[in-house]
Amino acid sequence: MRTVYETEAELDELQRLLDASNERSGAHVRSIFSADKRLSARQVSRHLQGVRQVAAAAVNRRGEPRVAPIDAVLYHGKFYLSTDATSLRARSLSRNPAVSLTYFEGADPMIVVNGRAAFIRKNDPGFPALDSEWERAYGTSILELGSTVLFIRVDASQMLAFAMHPERFPDA
């Protein structure tokens, strides 16, 4: 199990996002993501340690949605994805940075994120810390996959976190 990176301030910000997202949701979503089934920022942070796989969606040139699995990590309260700058996903997000992702293990838990993509290239000062997560998970740097690899930070405007049994997800 890795160290949780989120500071108290980042957890507070993530909790505000979760709360605001639930408040803005429609009646149907609120009925599913009911108060007794929601996960807190601390539960999300504790559960999403290390590299995980998510389903991430972007739109192509014709505005058609495209979803595919991709590696992701929650780091300082934000999701980061890894890909190559020449990938269809990266090219789509460079034209239209709207991105959605979902992490799920059946229905326990489900975490849905909508936001905007920001590219983190290998010369960015934050790149090595992110790359170290991939090194821990896979034993190698993503830089070994190619010269144009990058990370995509998801600046979330909405995040919903749900579990059928939230008591199974510790917050300490």
- The 3-class SS string of 7-33 reads CHHHHHHHHHHHHHHHHHCCHHHHHHC
pLDDT digits (tens, 9 = 90+) for 76-129: 999 999 999 999 999 999 999 999 999 999 888 999 999 999 999 999 999 999
pTM, entire model: 0.93
Whether residue 2 is predicted with pLDDT greater than 70 in this model: the reply is no
Which pair of structure tokens corresponds to residue 113? 């994120």
Give me the pLDDT at residue 19, please. 96
Q: Where are the domains of the chain?
A: 8-163
Residue 24: which pLDDT band, with cuts at 50, 70 and 90?
Answer: very high
Whether residue 3 is predicted with pLDDT greater than 90 in this model: the reply is no
- Provide CB contacts within 8 A for 138, sequence distance 6+: 51
Give me the pLDDT at residue 59, please. 95
Mean of pLDDT over the chain: 93
Sole residue written with tokens 């972007």: 58
Q: Tell me, what amino acid is at 62?
A: R
Give me the pLDDT at residue 103, please. 97
Please give the CATH superfamily to which domain 8-163 belongs: Electron Transport, Fmn-binding Protein; Chain A (2.30.110.10)
- Provide CB contacts within 8 A for 98, sequence distance 6+: 58, 59, 114, 115, 116, 117
